[in-house]
């Protein structure tokens, strides 16, 4: 079964319709291919291709006011399907829905995304409203934009 690499047109349209003021957080879970699958036959590991994506896309993210607010390396799926192991996990923050859409439309980002498409075997991209962490479970307030 092929992995989830890019959003469908329907999901992207829903994302855009959910416009609201304020920042958007995007939880990224990434499983890399052992060998990158470049259409032009470029030889690289999935990790090398994803590193190229990061190198080439970071200036666009930064120029739009985005940043990585959390990053970590998944170690074990404690609750959930054991076959959903991830190599990379991070949360990217965008100042607005428009900034995220602007990134995807940016010509430099569109060049960089080929590396992501070659590198990724499967992924999850989950849109989230930022919150202010509390002391205990469920003790969080949402950031209003």
CATH number at residue 108: 3.30.70.100
Residue 126, in any domain of the structure: yes
Residue 49, in any domain of the structure: yes
Residue 4, in any domain of the structure: no
Residue 85, in any domain of the structure: yes
Residue 77 has pLDDT above 80, yes or no: yes
**pLDDT of amino acid 3:** 77
This prediction's pTM = 0.88
**pLDDT of amino acid 12:** 87
Please give the residue range of the domain that contains residue 42.
9-130
Strands 141-142 and 67-72: unpaired
Residue 103 burial by CB count (10 A; 0-12/13-18/19+): exposed, middle or buried?
Answer: buried
The token duo for 106 is 């940016």
Residue 110, in any domain of the structure: yes
pLDDT tens readout for residues 3-36: 788 888 999 899 999 989 999 999 999 999 999 9
């Amino acid at each position: 079964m092929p992995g989830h690499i890019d959003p469908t047109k329907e999901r992207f349209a829903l994302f855009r319709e959910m416009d609201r003021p304020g920042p958007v957080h995007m939880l990224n879970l990434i499983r890399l291919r052992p060998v990158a699958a470049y259409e032009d036959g470029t030889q690289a590991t999935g990790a090398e291709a994803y590193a190229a994506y990061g190198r080439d896309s970071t200036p666009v993210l930064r120029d739009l006011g985005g940043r990585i607010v959390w990053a970590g390396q998944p170690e074990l799926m404690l609750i959930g399907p054991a076959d959903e192991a991830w190599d990379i996990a991070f949360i990217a923050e965008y100042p607005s829905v428009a900034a995220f859409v602007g990134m995807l439309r940016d010509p430099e980002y569109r060049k960089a995304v080929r590396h992501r498409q070659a590198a990724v075997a499967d992924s999850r991209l989950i849109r989230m409203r930022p919150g202010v962490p509390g002391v205990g479970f469920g003790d969080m307030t949402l950031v209003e934009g």
